[in-house]
Amino acid sequence: MHQAQPINRPNPRRGRRLLARKRTLGRRHYNYFRDYEPATGRDVESDPSGLAGGLTTYTYAGNPLRLIDPFGLSGVCPAAPSYNPEFWNDGGAIQNTNNCYSYAWDLPTNPVPRRPRPSPDKPQPGGFSGHPYDSLSCEAIISASISDGMSKPGADGNCSSCTHKVFLVIAPGVDYHWYRRDDDDRWSHKPGWGKATNVDASGSTITNPDLANHDYTPGPNYSRSCGYLCAPNR
């Protein structure tokens, strides 16, 4: 025999229906760890994985046909960077507003245009996270780069999946410089305002940045090697 529920007794089914109706009216899509809001094209909550998921912690997948993230924490890896000097060496906006750091990230656009950085026109280590480096030393620049989302290689010297290797050198008291490994296992770099290239100061193709010639006399001589880090693929 069916018994009617007392008037004042909570109905769990009705609660679920109201919750579903709320989500529909608010036009948010529940994604386990986060809620996606189509009206703004972004997630309502910050990425619980922090900067490991990208520099913008509220962003939705850049390419939803390629990147899948059923639990809001993972995705299909973007490809490692390709050596594409024609793109970087446009003689205009891209070449003149990017440097070795954004090139190492394979990030040709400024992801935080409204956030102050040490340099007004080119990204600097720590600028993405708001924790810029405070001295021209390996330790300070590595720490600032890790705060931006880079990571150290594992004990075996390899980078984790979805990342590519980068290499840091310093001209003591003068400058720093980054190299990155491309998908052909060779290395390339972009010196400041200059053009992206895959050769070192001697004009030799770079297969091992630690053994490459970093002496650009009469320009900087990057005589100190700081080692490898891993940058997220874009």
> Strands 163-171, 224-232: parallel, antiparallel or unpaired by DSSP?
antiparallel
Domain ranges of the chain: 1-76, 85-232
Burial tier of 165 (Cβ tally within 10 Å: 0-12, 13-18, 19+): buried
CA distance 57 to 192: 28
Segments of the chain scoring below 50 in pLDDT = 1-8, 10, 12-13, 15, 17-25, 66, 110-120
Residue 41, H or E segment: none
**What residue has token string 């193709």?**
205
Q: Quote the CA–CA distance of 19 and 30 in Å, as a whole number.
A: 11
User: How wide is the angle at C-alpha 114 spanned by C-alphas 112 and 116, nearest 5°?
Assistant: 85
Q: DSSP H helical segments within 44-137, as ranges?
A: 85-88, 93-97, 100-105
For the entire predicted model, the pTM comes to: 0.67
